[in-house]
């Protein structure tokens, strides 16, 4: 792909965000803007295309902070609320553009239909409810978005299968605890890898820092950025100082160009 791609981190926090409501943890009280993390999402833009991966509860605030004239679609990693709860806030895009394409595993679509039945309703639609065009994502397939083919990558979030996505030289994975060798091959040669690193302590469904570092080394991207970060990982500035020179902590509103 020859076109310049821009990656904007819309949110880099774990499910409660940072600060956590009511918390007096030092990281939650930090004055460093990089320690304030909305729920994870990323905007991928090239030519005039804009796609977001996940649409969590902070979607509205993220779109106000990083305005785009048009949203071409949403790719979902999985159905957890921190990745999906903002879907009602696609309404401004829906009013201007019409039905918004979404891309997700069949299981995720089933979950969205149950929780946001009014968005998917065929009849007796509430006036003003947003509508979507459903595209099922299957392992082993590719997704044609604009002029590129996006490759879904399967990973495991404890026992739940989740999708990461490869856009050209950019790979985005979150909520991962395990990835099979066959899927790791799909990441080879990537320039930028984004993957979750929750905290130092182990967790049943997320990479901790050590696991994320091992994974970054295994994939071997030119640069790796960590996301889905808990306040328990520590202060951004202190953690980043200890990372290898091609590994970084992402932070909200960080932009990368490829
Ligand atoms: Zn999550
Ligand atoms: Zn999750």
For the chain, what is the mean pLDDT?
97
Q: Which residues pair with 115 in a beta bridge?
A: none
Q: Which residue, 28, 65, 47, is CA-closest to 254?
A: 65
**How many other CB atoms are found less than 10 A from the CB of residue 138?**
12
Q: Is the CB of residue 103 less than 8 Å from the CB of residue 119?
A: no
Report the predicted TM-score, pTM, of the whole model to 2 decimal places. 0.97
CA angle, residues 168, 143, 164, in degrees to nearest 5: 65
**How many angstroms does the Cα of residue 59 sit away from the middle of ligand 1?**
14
Q: Residue 230 CA: which ligand is closest?
A: 1
Whole-number Å distance, alpha carbon 14 to ligand 1 midpoint, is: 6
The Cα–Cα gap between 130 and 132 comes to 7
Q: Residue 11 CA: which ligand is closest? A: 1
pLDDT-derived band at 20 (thresholds 50, 70, 90) equals very high
Distance 127 CA to ligand 2 centre (A): 32
For 67-108, how does the pLDDT look when each residue is reduced to its tens digit (9 = 90+)? 999 999 999 999 999 999 999 999 999 999 999 999 999 999
**150, β-bridge pairs:** 143
214 SS3 class: helix
Distance (Å) from CA 24 to ligand 1 centroid: 22
In angstroms, the CA 3 to CA 147 distance is: 10
Structure tokens at 78: 């999985």
**pLDDT value, residue 3:** 72
- Report, as an integer, the average pLDDT of 143-164: 97
CA of 123 to the centre of ligand 2 (A): 32
pLDDT given for residue 220 in this prediction: 98
Best CA proximity match to 254, nearest among 220, 221, 227: 227
CA of 172 to the centre of ligand 1 (A): 13
Cα 81 to ligand 2 centroid, rounded to whole Å:
8
Residue 2 has pLDDT above 60, yes or no: no
The domain segmentation of the chain, as residue ranges, is 6-257
Residue 256: pLDDT band with limits 50, 70, 90: very high
pLDDT > 70: what percent of the chain? 99
Which option is the CATH number for 6-257: 3.40.50.2000, 3.60.15.10, 1.10.3720.10, 3.40.50.300? 3.60.15.10
**C-alpha 83 to ligand 2 mean position (Å):** 7
User: Which ligand gives the minimal distance to the CA of 40?
Assistant: 1
Residue 36 has pLDDT above 70, yes or no: yes
Distance (angstroms) between ligand 2 centre and the Cα of 157 equals: 7
* % the chain with pLDDT above 90: 98
pLDDT at 166 over 60: yes
């Amino acid at each position: 792909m020859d076109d310049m791609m821009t990656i904007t981190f819309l949110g880099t926090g774990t499910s409660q965000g940072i600060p956590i409501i009511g918390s007096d943890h030092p990281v939650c009280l930090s004055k460093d803007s990089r320690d304030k993390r909305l729920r994870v999402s990323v905007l991928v833009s090239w030519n005039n295309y804009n796609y977001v991966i996940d649409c969590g509860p902070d979607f509205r605030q993220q779109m106000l902070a990083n305005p785009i004239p048009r949203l071409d679609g949403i790719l979902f990693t999985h159905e957890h609320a921190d990745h999906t709860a903002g879907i009602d806030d696609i309404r401004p895009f829906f009013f201007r553009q019409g039905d918004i394409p979404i891309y997700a595993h069949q299981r995720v679509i089933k979950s969205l239909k149950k929780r946001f039945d009014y968005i998917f309703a065929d009849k007796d639609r509430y006036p003003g409810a947003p509508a979507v065009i459903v595209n099922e994502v299957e392992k082993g397939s590719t997704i044609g978005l604009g002029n590129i083919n996006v490759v879904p990558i399967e990973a495991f979030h404890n026992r739940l299968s989740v999708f990461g996505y490869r856009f050209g030289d950019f790979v985005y994975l979150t909520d991962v605890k395990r990835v099979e060798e066959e899927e790791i091959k799909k990441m080879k040669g990537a320039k930028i890898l984004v993957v979750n690193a929750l905290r130092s302590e182990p967790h049943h469904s997320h990479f901790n820092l050590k696991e994320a570092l091992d994974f970054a080394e295994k994939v071997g991207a030119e640069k790796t950025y960590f996301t889905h970060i808990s306040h328990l990982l520590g202060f951004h500035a202190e953690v980043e100082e200890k990372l290898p020179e091609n590994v970084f902590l992402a932070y909200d509103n960080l932009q990368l160009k490829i």
